[in-house]
Structure 1
C-alpha cells in the first residue's frame, strides 16, 4: 500500500474516533449522520446473526418439538378413547333405563335377558339368550322388547334358552289389523342369510280394504302370546286363490336385537 494511502486511512480513523468521542454540537450532528448511514448495515448484521443462531439451535428445537408433538398425539388418542367409552356407557345407561321403565310399567312378570349368540346359518330363525329354567324360564314363553314381539322360547337349559324368532316360519301368531275386525295368522318366511325376510299375515278376507301402514297386533287367541303386542306394519296386500295375504314389515329389527324380555307364562292375562 502506498504511503499516502496509509496516511489517508489513519487520518480517516482519527477523524472517526473524534466524531464519536467528542461532545460538541457539531460532532453530535456528524455522529447522527454517520449512524443513519451505518444503521441499515447494523440491522443486516443483526439479522444474519439471528439466522446463524437459529440454524445452530434448530436440531435441538426440532427434537423437542417432535417429542411435544408425540406427547400431544398420545394425549389426543387417549381422550378419543375416553370419549368413545363415555358415549358407549351413556348409550348403555340410557338403554337400561328405558328397559327398566318398560319393565316397571308392564302388566307382565318379565325377566331381562341378553342375546349370547346367533349363527349365520340361522340368523333369522333363532338366538340364544343367557337365561334358563333356573331363572323361571319355560318353553313357549313369549319374548319381547319395547318395540314388539321377538318370538318365543324353544329349548330351555338351566342357564340358557333358545328363542325362535318371529321371522321363522315355524313361529305363528294370531294377529289382528288395527281399525278393522280382520284377523289372521302371522308368521315368517324362509329367507336367505343376508336378506331380512318379511312377515306374512295369512287367511284374510279377499274383499278386505287394507292400506299400507296399518298396524298389526297380536290378538291373544291361541293362549301363547298375550294380546296387544306390536307385530309390524302392512307393506302390501296380495290376493291369493281363496284368501288375502298381507306383507308385513316387522316392528322389531331382528338384525340388531341384543337385550330382550321373557314373559312368564303365569303372569299372562287373556282378554
Structure 2
C-alpha cells in the first residue's frame, strides 16, 4: 500500500521518476513560464502570481485533454470553485488567467499530470467517467526586505478535491515556505497553534521537481509565508499544483441545472 493511501500524504522527487530525452529542456521552458505570470487579481497585495487551466484525464488510457477556456474581453480564463473549503473565498467562483498554449503543450507538464493521476485511487463508480484535473501555476514573489508573499488559504486546510499534488519548480533567495501536514481536526488553525505531536510532518521543498501529494479526507496541509532571503535581488517560490476529482453522474438533486431557474442558465 502506498503512503498516500495509508497516511494521506507522500513525498516524491520526480527528477528520479520521470526520465526521457529532452526533459531538462522542457523543465527550463516550464520554469521560464513563471517569469510571466500575472498578479492574482483577488489578492494583489499578497505578492501572489498565477495561471490556471482545467483538463480531463481519460480512464485507462490516461490521455490528457484540455478543456476550453472562457474568453472575457479578449483574454482567456478558467473558472475555479472550492465551495466552502477556502474560507477566504467562501462559495465564490474565481477566474484565473489561462495557462499559455506553450505550457499546455509541454511534454513534461503532461508527464507530471499523468504521473500524479496514476498515484490516485477511486471507488469503482467514480471511475466510470473521465476525471477532472485543475492545474495551477503559482508564484510567491518578494522584492523588498519587508515584503511577505502568502498562499491561500493561509492555514492548515483541505482543498475540497480528493487529491492535490505540489511540485516545486523554482526556489530562490527566500526564507520560509515551510510545508506542514496535520490531521483534519486542525483545519483552519495555524501550525504553531497545534501541538507538535499532532503535526504529522513538516518539511521544505528546495529542489526543482521536489514534490508531495495529499489525500484530502485524511489530512490538512499548509505552506508558510515567504520572505526575501539575504541575497540581492528578488526572492521567489514557484510551484505547480495539480488537483483531481471525478466527473461522476451526479445525484439529480445536486445538479444546479435541475433547480428550474432558467434565467441563470446558458447555452453551451
Question: Normalization by structure 1: what TM-score?
Answer: 0.24
Query: Which structure: greater helix fraction?
Result: 1
Q: Which has more radius of gyration?
A: 1
